[in-house]
Amino acid sequence: MEYRYVGSSGLRVSPICMGTMSFGTWSDKSESFRILDTAFDRGINFFDTAEIYPVPPTAEMAGLSEEIFGQWIKTKSRDAVLVATKVAGAASGWFVPPIRHGYTAIDRHHVETAVEGSLRRLGVDYIDLYQVHWPDTVVTIDESMEALDRLVESGKVRYLGTSNDSAYGLTKANTVADYEGWSRFQSIQNNFSLLNRRFMDELANVCRQEQVSLLPYSPLGGGVLSGKYNLGKAPANSRFADYRQSGEARQRAMADRFLNEGTLASTARYLEIAAEVGLAPVTLATAWSMQHDFVASTIIGARTAEQLESSLAALDVTLEDDVLRKCDAVHAEILYPMG
């Protein structure tokens, strides 16, 4: 397997990262262990979690995914596993998890409190990659970066990353860090898939110029690219079926953004391309995500160990140029028509 460096850091990660946001809700502890063992046995050494997981999140369950993962990591050599987690950030208000005072700011107090909680739940002495889940729009980036740098200096964290950030936010943060001599963001974890290519508009160039790696999440477009929604009615217990029935406005809006006439039309074409090259739709979508020079490791998720197979199959796939061109043509024609 080709292992890749994250940014200019010393983290050498598998090209697929195992996400854990289903652990504790959609996946119980036993199934979560099966998922983790399956991924690890296939050479996956990079695992991503967060202090607010699992999803759907509640105040009572926040941190459960870290706890489950922490119990699993005790069965492995610590040096064989790279652990990434996140401090919640200001935009977590849509879950309203009162983790600390009902609001999580990226300031010194909240960052230090958050990392101690994650270390305790994970049962580890240090975190390999500590990420800001959402940028804070109130606390200055100077205060946030100084607070995060203290974690690196203390040895509690090896490297830093951001998530759900913009080209300006990433550039500003690293400019401040470089000027002050603080640790900079080595990675950015944003939504990126065949159905959502906004990262390529500006952020991809920032990553190339600044030596920052993308850790794309939701490479299947929330499961849409699997083709399961093209069969008609949304499958029972599927993510967006749950969101549309939840009564929560932001979740319904997310479902509508990922699951609509345009995305279904695009997916239908991607299903045809996958069939032409003899790949499962999930394998095609995952391989496409991995095959960008600014990507270090694509984050996948699963509710069962069996669901992993099609995603992990992408480890052995390199898409030919003509396949990539066909995918680009679908995107241009359906999602962004020129005429």
What residues act catalytically? 53
Longest dimension (CA), the chain: 57
Locate all alpha helices (DSSP H) within 123-228, ordered by sequence: 141-154, 167-180, 203-210
Spatial CA neighbour of 217 closest among 290, 166, 281, 280: 290
d(CA 191, CA 195): 10
Q: Is residue 44 a contact partner of residue 83, using CB atoms and an 8 Å limit?
A: no
Q: Is residue 189 a contact partner of residue 217, using CB atoms and an 8 Å limit?
A: yes
Kindly give the pairing relationship between strand 4-5 and strand 12-13: antiparallel
Which string of b and e fits 13-34 if b means at least 16 CB within 10 Å?
Answer: bbbbbbbbbbbbbbbeeebbbb
d(CA 196, CA 285): 12
DSSP string, 40-87: HHTT--EEE--TT-SSS--TTTTTHHHHHHHHHHTTS-GGG-EEEEEE
Strand partners, 55: none
